[in-house]
Amino acid sequence: MANPLDLMDIRQIIISHLDGESNRQIAKTLGIHRNTINTYIQHITSCDWPMEELLKMSDAALRNLFPTLTTIKNPRYDELMVYFEQIKMAKEHPGFTFLIHYNEYKEQAKEPYSYTQFMEHYKRRYANEKGSGKLNHEAGKELFVDFAGKKLHIVNRETGEKIPVEVFVAIFPHSGYTYVRACMSQKREDFIESMTHALSFFQGVPKAIVSDNLKTAVTRASKYEPVINKTFKDFARHYNCVINPTRTYSAQDKALVENAVNLSYQRIYYPIREMTFFSLEDLNKTILSFLDRYNDLLFQRKDTSRKELFQSVERQYLKSLPSSRYELKDYRRAKVQKIGYVYFSPDKTYYSVPYRYIGKRTQVEYTKSRVEVYYNHERIAIHQRDPTKGSYITQKDHLSSTHRAYSEWSPEYFKNLARKHGEYVLAVVKGFLQENDYPEVAYKRAMGVIQLHKTYGSERLNNACKRAYSGEVYSYKMICNILKTKLDTQQLNLDGLHDDLPHIPQHENIRGANHYQ
């Protein structure tokens, strides 16, 4: 079976290549087979786009450039590697032999290797396993991060309850320069916020972040190809670095950060053991003060401190921080409604998208400040987030011509339209607007009257409105009847309507009031 590389993995390959790392180093850092890295690098360097431009491309455009490149999964080999981990753990037991374990493997494997192949793969897998030695870490290349096993506490001022808090630790292995911060949990929000504070503390970004297999960092742990959490990958993309989780069952990979955790117990936990903190902010201020003392301590066998070594050597190899801090993203699925909006369930609001996507299923990515809508990995809309419940957030460019005109309806809009067809059309429209408390009803009646000019012309429409206005009756139906019966063409005598003259004309056959005495 073939499984395409994740687009974020492709971006991390490009970033590492631009940083000058060899294909072998990239494969080791990302946990991807070297042949796969070689294939991707060849494809990247042979395409017509500079690597810097590839990083700026949208996911949809980048996917089009890499439609068929894949990593190969070999279940038979993976099964053998998993079994080798069991052998490794049992190897020191008295009476151990490879043949016994090969027979056990042969019985449980679906497609077992021969004994010769079994031993050859084992020798290749553990060819360099001759004990542990000191690792030489390149300056600025990796930042190790983890949570301490032991927790600190803050106290509820009102109830006196002790609330346990997690402690995040980050260390640069070359200099030993360390950052420590307390947070409420190991959840994604607190982990990403701690990572952001750490990079701000160091004032730079490493080439790679080495994390333990935390649930907030790694979706699926694996010794060979772990699956990185989507948010953590997006964080790495924002800061232009890569993620390299430690291998499972490989304690040596995280020995350095574990040592930093133990030192934090001595230099921070123990000195503040008698102190009481009522807020996370107060606790972190105190941690920071003790952390400064710890980083300023001279090494026992070096005439320098962690801070001095970091400032003089390591910091110059770090990448610059981006202009803006990372905002945590969340994701939702939404179908574009017939009116051209997607429903955003967290705030119960609606955001417009281009009307041609009506009926399509989209992905909504949102932060505290903005909402973005994607279709097939291509961003089709971006809005400032509005938490007002039930609100419709609209960009006029997204609407069709009909909807765009509808969205512009207002009293002034209809007055301006009516004014073009005559003063009495304007007077009737004003009457509609004044009589109705609900504006949408008045808008529809006003539009209906104005549209009559297409059938009868502006002059007849104005005369019909004059007749309706004289009777102070503002009705779309009446104006239609006036036009249909051609009453607008008959002369309307408005003179004397308010005089004191009798409305019955004088005639010799009409008897006066004297005849009824």
Q: What is the pLDDT of residue 94?
A: 46
pLDDT: which is higher, 94 or 118: 118
- One domain for residues 161 and 291: yes
How does DSSP classify residue 253? G
Could you say which of 290, 317, 344 is where a domain stops?
317
In this structure, of 130-134, 173-177, 258-262, 286-290, the range with the lowest mean pLDDT score is 130-134
Q: How confident is the model at residue 409 (pLDDT cuts 50, 70, 90)?
A: low
Give whole-number Cα distances, 108 to 23, 104, 224, in Å: 36, 7, 22
Separation of alpha carbons 403 and 174, rounded Å: 61
Based on the number of CB atoms within 10 Å of its own CB, is 136 exposed (0-12), middle (13-18) or buried (19 or more)? exposed
Q: Is there a single domain that holds both residue 176 and residue 281?
A: yes
Asked if the structure places residue 192 within a domain, the reply is: yes
Query: Is the CB of residue 248 less than 8 Å from the CB of residue 223?
Result: yes
393 shares a domain with 366: yes
Q: Do both 383 and 446 map to the same domain?
A: no
314-323, 387-396, 499-508: lowest mean pLDDT where? Answer: 499-508
Could you tell me if residue 517 is inside a domain? no
Distance between CA atoms of 439 and 442, rounded to whole angstroms? Answer: 5
In this predicted structure, the answer to whether residue 403 has a pLDDT above a threshold of 70 is no
| pLDDT average, residue stretch 369-390 | 88
Residues 353 and 394 grouped into a single domain:
yes
Query: Is 60 exceeded by the pLDDT of residue 207?
Result: yes
pLDDT at 362: 92
pLDDT at position 336 over 50: yes
- Is 7 inside any structural domain? yes
Q: Over range 159-175, report the average pLDDT.
A: 90
Q: Are residues 294 and 213 in the same domain?
A: yes
The pLDDT, as a whole number, for residue 497 is 44
Measured between alpha carbons, how far is 110 from 127 in angstroms, rounded to an integer?
Answer: 26
Whether residues 201 and 312 share a domain: the answer is: yes
pLDDT number for residue 115: 87
Owning domain of residue 114: 75-125
pLDDT at 496: 45
Phi, psi of 250 (to 5 degrees): -130, 80
Q: Residues 173, 300: one domain? A: yes
Same domain, 89 and 44: no
Does 191 have pLDDT greater than 60? yes
Does the pLDDT at position 283 exceed 90?
yes
465 and 414 within one domain? yes
Average pLDDT over residues 162-171: 91
How much is the mean pLDDT over the chain? 79
As a whole number, mean pLDDT of residues 168-176 equals 88
Residue 498 lies in a domain: no
Cα separations in angstroms, 261 against 149, 150, 242, 288, 456: 8, 9, 23, 15, 86
- Asked if residue 497 is part of any domain, the answer here is no
The number of domains in the chain is 5
Comparing 68 with 117, the larger pLDDT belongs to 117
Q: What is the pLDDT of residue 71?
A: 47
* 96 against 330, higher pLDDT: 330
- The number of beta carbons lying within 10 Å of the beta carbon of residue 196 is 18
Task: Report the CATH number that the domain containing residue 252 is assigned in CATH.
Answer: 3.30.420.10
Question: What is the pLDDT at residue 431?
Answer: 84
In this predicted structure, which of 147-156, 232-241, 405-414, 463-472 has the lowest mean pLDDT? 405-414
The model's confidence at residue 368, banded by pLDDT at 50, 70 and 90, is confident
**Res 1: pLDDT:** 33
- Work out the average pLDDT over 491-500: 52
Measured between alpha carbons, how far is 88 from 85 in angstroms, rounded to an integer? 5
Residue-wise pLDDT for 121-155, tens only, equals 887 777 655 444 455 677 888 888 888 888 899 99
Q: What pLDDT is recorded for position 254?
A: 57
- What integer pLDDT is reported at residue 200 of this predicted model? 92
- The pLDDT of residue 374 is above 80: yes
- Per-residue pLDDT band at 499 (split at 50, 70, 90): very low
Using the predicted structure, report yes or no on whether residue 243 has a pLDDT greater than 60.
yes
How far is it, in rounded angstroms, from Cα 198 to Cα 168?
A: 9
Is 207 in contact with 241 (CB distance < 8 Å)?
A: yes
**137 close to 144: Cβ distance less than 8 angstroms:** no
Cβ–Cβ < 8 Å for 41, 23? yes
- Asked whether residue 9 is assigned to any structural domain, the reply reads yes
Cβ–Cβ < 8 Å for 110, 79? yes
With 90 as the cut, is the pLDDT of residue 83 above it?
Answer: no
Verify that 68 and 91 share a domain, yes or no. no
Q: Higher-confidence residue: 11 or 153?
A: 153
pLDDT in the model for residue 97 = 74
Which of 402, 436, 456 marks a domain boundary?
402
Q: Average of pLDDT values for 287-310?
A: 84
